[in-house]
Amino acid sequence: MNRFLAIGFLLLTCLCIPEGVEACSSCFSGEETRATYIGTTVFLSLLPIAIIVGMGIAVRRRYVDPENQAAGRS
């Protein structure tokens, strides 16, 4: 019974204070914040790809290029 009262109180609180339960702060704010949110999303989506490409370039420079030079290829 106490659990139902607690859940009911929580739901009632959420219904009375809608500003406190907004899921996304950028959705309910100005255009500048939305653009920042989208920019951050794009950045964080491309970051892992950039890290993998960077690691591939580092491995190539470390192992493949010296081997090619030692064998007389380029």
Indicate the domain borders of the chain: 2-70
Q: For 11-64, what is each residue's pLDDT tens digit?
A: 877 677 766 556 666 566 666 777 888 889 999 999 999 999 999 999 999 988
Which token pair is 70?
């030692």
12: Cα separation from own chain's centroid: 32
Looking at residue 35, what is its pLDDT?
81
pTM of the model: 0.50
Looking at residue 23, what is its pLDDT?
60
Looking at residue 47, what is its pLDDT?
96
Looking at residue 22, what is its pLDDT?
61
